[in-house]
Amino acid sequence: MTAHQAALEALTRYFGYDSFRPGQQGIVEALLAGRDVLGVMPTGAGKSVCYQIPAALSPGMTLVISPLISLMRDQVDALNDLGLPAAFINTTQTPDEQAMVFAQAAAGQIKLLYVAPERLETGRFRDFAARTPISLIAVDEAHCVSQWGQDFRSSYLGIGDFIAGLPQRPPVGAFTATATERVRRDIVGLLGLRNPAVTVTGFDRPNLYFDVVKLETKYKAAWVARYVADHPDESGIVYCATRKTTEALTDTLNQMGHPAVAYHGGMSPDAREAAQRDFITDKVPVVVATNAFGMGIDKSNVRYVIHHNLPESIEAYYQEAGRAGRDGEPSRCTLLWNESDIVTRRRLLDNDYENERLTPEEQEIVRQSKRRLLDGMVGYCRTTDCLHRYMTRYFGQELSPNAGSTAGEDIAADSSQSGKCGACSNCESTFETIDVTRVAQAISRCVHDVGQRVGSGKIVKILRGSRAQDLAWLNPERMPTFGMLKDVNEARVRDVLSQMATDGYLSIAEGRMPIVMFGARAAETAAPDFHYEIKRVERKSEAAGSGR
Ligand code: ADP
């Protein structure tokens, strides 16, 4: 029997599936052939099978390194039920229980052993690993090794040494749903992967319609209410940034006669469970939630996911929006955003000193990395390119037929021929580009005129020549920029100012009142070749405007 046939046979025998999902078979065969692997697949794509099948088919034991102690028991129980002897060693066990697992593993009775990375640092485990034949090592959530990802864990840094210290180095499979280039390089480097077969797959979801809507905050609730009203028979999730917004929006919907439940981490466990149950059993069609909602929730008929605020990264967005349309039916993922959302996100990030386990230098690296992740999200809001293409490209999966063996298998309909996917608002819109160089320069000069001392509202007023009382103390009429943008409408000036803040020409300083200051790129606005533009949706086609 070839490796190919053996893998397929094991997939059916142990897991009861009749075919592999994209990417799985290549990974299984590479590991069985003794090769290291880096598997980049979204959550839910089926990474576990990629190492569980080689584990089943290999003579010795497979060591699975996972950060999630709380999930180990379930994973291990499930494997034992399937006929694959598995166990874990972790801090939830008594010394006796641990001793029993060590003994069973030493006797060759365990095929898969799950441990957290901290375990590898203990002398007892190292002795055990030196004496026990290990056929394969699987590192789950491998991005935790990188300070450039979302969830850096310093204990992951010891995995590379552990592997290098084994008397016989087995093939290593590293798995993650995070795919930025920097993180991937770290995984390969820090885990010491040798010429790994890199597989990136499964990121496109052709049945999802991606929709980006730029909308001022005050109009968002009404937008959501209208969408919900227009889709009364559909199940949907509305993600909000704060608990307060979650509750306010739930109240609004209920008052308008659209049944909805709130879900957030501030609710009692009972209330959360009840909300979840009502949503899953279709008793209530809409859940309005913070990002606390969704982990481990398996509801296949979610027809839409609306983001009322900007998520912190494409990874987070993909995971939350991806809860729509699990059944493969057409579903819609809408992101509502505006420039001030971006400014708020940036501010939160700069003030985030939460992770006390890290040194100040490490914290700065993490902060920088989060800034870059946010830039990826901002890029998604701003791009006029196909949103499916943007998303898959972000994850390193090119939607072109030549991109690789597994990449590109799930191309959104027709994208290769027309360049238009037919399943995102950008492909169904036409954009106009507006030259706002003069506006941007005037804003920059005005920030100078006021000595970086006032907020955006006052700057807009001065530029538009307002004689409002609250400006009198500044004596604006003496300023060269007073009234300079009298001919430009106020909303446009605000828009340009916000975009300049997100692009780094300005920065908004925190305080009792936000103050507009110069950003790192401020000097560029005075350069003779400075050019600045904004893009606006000129026209959305009917399909893009209506719901699915
Ligand atoms: P990940 O670790 O990538 O988040 P899992 O390994 O937990 O994903 O798999 C997600 C779900 O997909 C599981 O229920 C799993 O049993 C199922 N699955 C995995 N591979 C296949 C397959 N080839 N065919 C059908 N279902 C699969």
Q: Residue 80: how many CA atoms within 13 Å on its side-chain side?
A: 13
SS (H, E, C) 414-477: CHHHHCCCCCECCCCEEEEEEECHHHHHHHHHHHHHCCCCCCHHHHHHHHCCCCCHHHHHHCHH
- Nearest ligand 1 atom to the CA of 177 is 3
| Opening angle at CA 533, ends 532 and 534, nearest 5 | 140
Range 458-466, long-range pairs (CB < 8 A, 24+ positions)? 459/497, 459/516, 460/490, 460/493, 460/494, 460/497, 463/488, 463/493, 464/488, 464/490, 464/493
Q: What is the rounded distance in angstroms from the CA atom of residue 248 to the CA atom of residue 12?
A: 49
Across all residues in the chain, what is the average pLDDT? 89
Mean pLDDT for the stretch of residues 500-528: 85
Does the beta carbon of 119 lie inside 6 Å of ligand 1? no
Q: Which residue's C-alpha comes closest to atom 13 of ligand 1?
A: 46
Alpha helices in 156-237 (DSSP H): 159-164, 181-191, 217-230
Please determine, for residue 543, whether its predicted confidence score (pLDDT) is greater than 80: no
**SS3 assignment, position 194:** coil
pLDDT score, position 410:
36
Which tops the pLDDT comparison, 235 or 42? 235
The pTM assigned to this predicted structure is 0.76
Q: Please give the distance, rounded to the nearest whole angstrom, from the Cα atom of residue 176 to the centre of ligand 1.
A: 14
Tens-place pLDDT, residues 257-291: 999 999 999 999 999 999 999 999 999 999 999 99
**SS3 assignment, position 528:** coil
**Mutation choice for ligand 1 from 13, 41, 49, CB with most ligand atoms inside 8 A:** 49
Element (H, E) at 331: strand 331-337
Tens-place pLDDT, residues 192-210: 999 999 998 878 899 999 9
Tens-place pLDDT, residues 82-121: 999 999 999 999 999 999 999 999 999 999 999 999 999 9
Q: Which residue has the tokens 């694959």?
A: 84
Q: What is the rounded distance in angstroms from the CA atom of residue 388 to the CA atom of residue 383?
A: 11
pLDDT score, position 344:
85
pLDDT score, position 42:
86
Does the beta carbon of 41 lie inside 6 Å of ligand 1? yes
Q: Which residues pair with 261 in a beta bridge?
A: 287
Q: Quick one: pLDDT band at residue 234, thresholds 50, 70, 90?
A: very high
Percent of the chain scoring above 70 in pLDDT: 93
Percent of the chain scoring above 90 in pLDDT: 69
Name the DSSP letter for residue 171.
Answer: P
Q: What is the rounded distance in angstroms from the CA atom of residue 21 to the CA atom of residue 443?
A: 53
Q: What is the dihedral sign for C-alpha 138, 143, 147, 153?
A: negative
- Six-digit token string for 494: 């605000």
Q: Quick one: pLDDT band at residue 541, thresholds 50, 70, 90?
A: low
pLDDT score, position 399:
60
Mean pLDDT for the stretch of residues 321-346: 92
Q: Which residue's C-alpha comes closest to atom 2 of ligand 1?
A: 47
pLDDT score, position 356:
62
Q: Quick one: pLDDT band at residue 530, thresholds 50, 70, 90?
A: very high
Q: Would you state the torsion angle of the CA atoms of residues 535, 540, 541, 542, taken in this order, to the nearest 10 degrees?
A: 170
pLDDT score, position 372:
80
